[in-house]
Chains A and B, each alone.
Chain A
């Protein structure tokens, strides 16, 4: 079988994207806070063969609710790649997005060169680039699968129905964000109906199937959460104090993280597609619209919403760029056409690649535990009792349970966690109070044995005065972070 030129280029793009990611990801041997949680759950599967549904370390011991498919994938692949699998596998999966985007772009405009360029763009979307780098993120698989489903749906026929059914199941089993696709398809249906466009019976049937299967699987997996929180499950038990920030939507940040030019071209593509009643663009518009509505209603975490929105916008920009290129062909600038195109395309690429590299470099330096952090936590692991509890700020919980293997008061895995708001407020009070009596009350409440004080906490709350009481607290480490043992 002979490989076509475009396929060769596509493989090259895949390799370029993959190696760019590998370059950043392997600058540190560690994973970030959420990556440590994924690693711990996966290691449990490797050791016992079963997923962990009772986490004895998180929140001093609590039930956890998640779909373990991703952890099984990592467990199986880590048999081959060892601990490198936690970085390598997500990087490979997320790089597959270039193939999916190529297929989608080609379907929208049937322009091979442009589709290749768009697939290259998708490899450097800052949001996707960052989120799948060092956190063993499930989104590295969810994003390509979701857009592959959109590709299958775009021109669905009898042959593709089976694949659509199978991938719908896979996506639903992977993550509850699969609901976003169902809502996107619904928005597409509404948009098409409002434009008096018939989407066809097969699409309607596939849409209904996706909707029904997604909801059933989510209800089965998250049954307990639905019973516990009812409809409030959409805010997944996030502490009330941070609920506002958690779902806060920053438009400027979005422009930088998606890429300003991508945002403009993508939005123009969506609007143009709706105006011209282009069915394929309407599908992407529906998906983007559903995401934007969920973001606006604060039902979707912005980080996650932007991840999907950015890819949808990149694909939608295919339509705008195609129009732009066609328009250039009709102008009286044939001599400058190639140069002009190269400048524009180069600018787009730079607007994506530069923020990606800048953020990635910063992310690898700041959001990953330092060698000293690891040294401190490993010391605690070796020199303390197994049921020790460590107090740490919210963003360090998984890192502590992952590296030190000790109990924590709270972490950011909120679903089904006990009294998240109360615990969050207690931890904030612990670091912020000037009263030793108040601090000791909180320490007694959660049986805290060690207090972990990272530099960020000291910068936020100032120096903790009560920790200097040598009758009650014994300093173990005095650098950044500081660690004190409770001895009274």
Chain B
């Protein structure tokens, strides 16, 4: 057996590159497959995927393209393929842009929570994201006709991603043509639009509990590098773009995916720059870089672990399967798509429009907080509720007041039906 020594590697950079490429492939497979392996059941993660599965095959609703695809492909398989293709196109984009650090950037993106979310939770964004990468690649190669076709496809998955891609495309063209004034005007408009439109997201740091977010270590690393390299012009441009995307991700759902993608690129450039500069203590340098990598890995893995343990579980669907078809079930907004998927009707779900949800939220906050019997009955009757589904998580969320209080003490209008391993179902008599 031949022993491959350290010297051998240093003399053969080709092998080091091969070794790194192999490592990236392994890492990608780990982050794409691990949530499914760690999961106690084979159910898709989250609630949005159930909306698309309920509408599988139809070319309507939110993310029609994704709804359509899910009829013909298994959700896990398609997510895996999308994940791999996204990485390939990200790599090809970086190669086209002559980014030397592309392999490390790829590695950083793979271990980001955004990647884990995109290609493990069956939301429409994964497909939109991949096609936007394909679109950018074709644009960089000046193949505008196929790029336009791809852009049309993106609109089928998510029109907002489509608009975002189109905006980037316009900026790119303006940059190429040297129309700096219009370029900066559009960026100004972008900032203005981002600031005034919509509400701020609840959080964008996954380590602090955000649903989708960035790693706190990635942000910390980016900030640290800014302190080191803020005087360099190259870095100022990169940080400018990162700041715009950061701002965008504070407002728009899918913004965090593009921010994470760009952050990976920024970190990889910083990483090599930190290796290049002169350090007084090599021990400190090595430990700092090692800790940063460990931190990024830790964030990514803990996020993977978190999503693998997220709902739904079998108990919810077992409980729902015991209820008659087409009956109206009231539960939390996040349970709405699961209720619909199981063939029942939900009074609300997370994929409804903001306008629809604002009235519902108002009504149901009264329902969940008020102990006024007449008001609660009135609301439940108005929404034609037949059953109420509560589990331990909802009991903690809703507290022992409002609806839960009435369920416990009002046997005239509500009757406890069954408890399916912690998932309680109550009948409401209209």
Tell me the A residues contacting B by CB distance below 8 Å. Answer: 158, 161-162, 165, 200-202, 205-206, 208-209, 212-213, 215-216, 219-220, 223, 226-231
**Is the CB–CB distance between A219 and B295 below 8 Å?**
yes
Q: Is B182 an interface residue (CB 8 A)?
A: no
Most buried by A among B208, B284, B287: B284
Q: Is B220 an interface residue (CB 8 A)?
A: yes
Residues of chain A contacted by B20 (CB below 8 angstroms):
none
> Hey, what's the 0/1 contact readout for B183-218 against A, CB within 8 Å counting as 1?
000000000000000000001000111000000110
**Is the CB–CB distance between A216 and B208 below 8 Å?**
no
**Is the CB–CB distance between B281 and A223 below 8 Å?**
no
- Bound-state CA distance A165–B295 (Å) is 17
Q: Is B379 an interface residue (CB 8 A)?
A: no
- Bound-state CA distance A380–B311 (Å) is 42
Residues of chain A contacted by B287 (CB below 8 angstroms):
165, 209, 213
- Bound-state CA distance A43–B183 (Å) is 67
Residues of chain B contacted by A205 (CB below 8 angstroms):
279-281, 284-285, 288
- Bound-state CA distance A215–B207 (Å) is 12
Q: Is B37 an interface residue (CB 8 A)?
A: no
- Bound-state CA distance A104–B341 (Å) is 68
- Bound-state CA distance A359–B279 (Å) is 50
**Is the CB–CB distance between A208 and B295 below 8 Å?**
no
Give B305-360 interface residues, CB cut-off 8 Å to A: 306
Residue of B nearest to A220 (CB): B298
- Bound-state CA distance A223–B207 (Å) is 7
Residues of chain A contacted by B220 (CB below 8 angstroms):
212, 215
- Bound-state CA distance A201–B277 (Å) is 12
Give B274-304 interface residues, CB cut-off 8 Å to A: 279-281, 283-285, 287-288, 291-292, 294-295, 298-299, 302
**Is the CB–CB distance between B208 and A206 below 8 Å?**
no
| Interface class of chain A by DSSP | helix
8 A–B contacts from the bound complex (CB under 8 Å):
A202-B281, A206-B281, A208-B288, A212-B288, A212-B292, A212-B295, A213-B287, A227-B209
Q: Which listed residue (B203, B288, B298) contacts A219, Cβ 8 A? A: B298
**Is the CB–CB distance between B209 and A230 below 8 Å?**
yes
**Is the CB–CB distance between A206 and B306 below 8 Å?**
no
- Apart from A162-B283, A201-B279, list 5 A-B contacts with CB within 8 A: A202-B281, A205-B284, A206-B281, A212-B220, A212-B292
Residues of chain A contacted by B285 (CB below 8 angstroms):
205
Tell me the B residues contacting A by CB distance below 8 Å. Answer: 203, 207-209, 216-217, 220, 224, 279-281, 283-285, 287-288, 291-292, 294-295, 298-299, 302, 306
- Bound-state CA distance A486–B204 (Å) is 49
**A165-B284 contact in complex given A201-B279, A223-B302, C-beta closer than 8 Å:** yes
Residues of chain B contacted by A161 (CB below 8 angstroms):
281, 283-284
**Is the CB–CB distance between A216 and B217 below 8 Å?**
yes
- Bound-state CA distance A348–B280 (Å) is 42
**Is the CB–CB distance between A230 and B281 below 8 Å?**
no
Residues of chain B contacted by A228 (CB below 8 angstroms):
209
Residues of chain A contacted by B208 (CB below 8 angstroms):
226-227, 230-231
- Bound-state CA distance A212–B281 (Å) is 16
Residue of B nearest to A229 (CB): B209
- Bound-state CA distance A351–B220 (Å) is 45
- Shortest C-beta distance, A456 to chain B (Å), equals 30
Residues of chain A contacted by B306 (CB below 8 angstroms):
227
Residues of chain A contacted by B283 (CB below 8 angstroms):
161-162, 165
Residue of A nearest to B306 (CB): A227
- Bound-state CA distance A219–B299 (Å) is 9
Most buried by A among B281, B288, B306: B281
**Is the CB–CB distance between A206 and B284 below 8 Å?**
yes
- Shortest C-beta distance, A318 to chain B (Å), equals 28
**Is the CB–CB distance between A219 and B280 below 8 Å?**
no
Q: Which listed residue (B207, B294, B298) contacts A227, Cβ 8 A? A: B207
- Shortest C-beta distance, B225 to chain A (Å), equals 11
Q: Which listed residue (B207, B217, B288, B295) contacts A209, Cβ 8 A? A: B288
- A to B contact number (C-beta, < 8 Å): 69
Residues of chain B contacted by A208 (CB below 8 angstroms):
224, 284, 288
- Shortest C-beta distance, B55 to chain A (Å), equals 32
- Shortest C-beta distance, B222 to chain A (Å), equals 13
- Shortest C-beta distance, B299 to chain A (Å), equals 8
- Bound-state CA distance A200–B284 (Å) is 14
Residue of A nearest to B216 (CB): A219
Residue of A nearest to B284 (CB): A205
Residues of chain B contacted by A165 (CB below 8 angstroms):
283-284, 287
Residues of chain A contacted by B292 (CB below 8 angstroms):
212
A-B residue pairs, 10 tightest by C-beta: A205-B284, A202-B280, A201-B280, A230-B208, A209-B284, A216-B295, A227-B209, A212-B291, A161-B281, A230-B209
Residues of chain B contacted by A201 (CB below 8 angstroms):
279-280
- Bound-state CA distance A227–B306 (Å) is 10
Residues of chain A contacted by B284 (CB below 8 angstroms):
161, 165, 202, 205-206, 208-209
Residues of chain B contacted by A200 (CB below 8 angstroms):
280
- Shortest C-beta distance, A71 to chain B (Å), equals 23
**Is the CB–CB distance between B209 and A216 below 8 Å?**
no
**Is the CB–CB distance between A230 and B279 below 8 Å?**
no
**Is the CB–CB distance between B281 and A216 below 8 Å?**
no
- Bound-state CA distance A228–B306 (Å) is 12
Q: Which listed residue (A158, A220, A229) contacts B281, Cβ 8 A? A: A158
- Bound-state CA distance A200–B280 (Å) is 9
Residues of chain B contacted by A215 (CB below 8 angstroms):
216-217, 220, 295
- Bound-state CA distance A81–B36 (Å) is 50
- Bound-state CA distance A202–B298 (Å) is 28
- Shortest C-beta distance, A201 to chain B (Å), equals 4
- Shortest C-beta distance, A169 to chain B (Å), equals 9
- Shortest C-beta distance, A203 to chain B (Å), equals 9
- Shortest C-beta distance, B252 to chain A (Å), equals 21
- Shortest C-beta distance, A235 to chain B (Å), equals 14
Residues of chain B contacted by A212 (CB below 8 angstroms):
220, 224, 288, 291-292, 295
- Bound-state CA distance A230–B279 (Å) is 35
Residues of chain A contacted by B299 (CB below 8 angstroms):
219
- Shortest C-beta distance, B143 to chain A (Å), equals 44
- Bound-state CA distance A149–B299 (Å) is 28
- Bound-state CA distance A161–B288 (Å) is 13
- Bound-state CA distance A9–B279 (Å) is 41
Residues of chain A contacted by B291 (CB below 8 angstroms):
209, 212-213, 216
- Shortest C-beta distance, A95 to chain B (Å), equals 31
Residues of chain A contacted by B207 (CB below 8 angstroms):
219, 223, 226-227
Residue of B nearest to A224 (CB): B302
- Bound-state CA distance A216–B220 (Å) is 11
Residue of A nearest to B278 (CB): A201
- Bound-state CA distance A393–B239 (Å) is 53
- Shortest C-beta distance, A24 to chain B (Å), equals 42
Residues of chain B contacted by A223 (CB below 8 angstroms):
207, 302
**Is the CB–CB distance between B209 and A226 below 8 Å?**
yes
Residues of chain A contacted by B224 (CB below 8 angstroms):
208, 212
**Is the CB–CB distance between A230 and B203 below 8 Å?**
yes
Residues of chain A contacted by B302 (CB below 8 angstroms):
223
- Bound-state CA distance A226–B288 (Å) is 22
- Bound-state CA distance A394–B217 (Å) is 37
Residues of chain B contacted by A213 (CB below 8 angstroms):
287, 291
Residue of A nearest to B202 (CB): A230
- Bound-state CA distance A223–B285 (Å) is 25
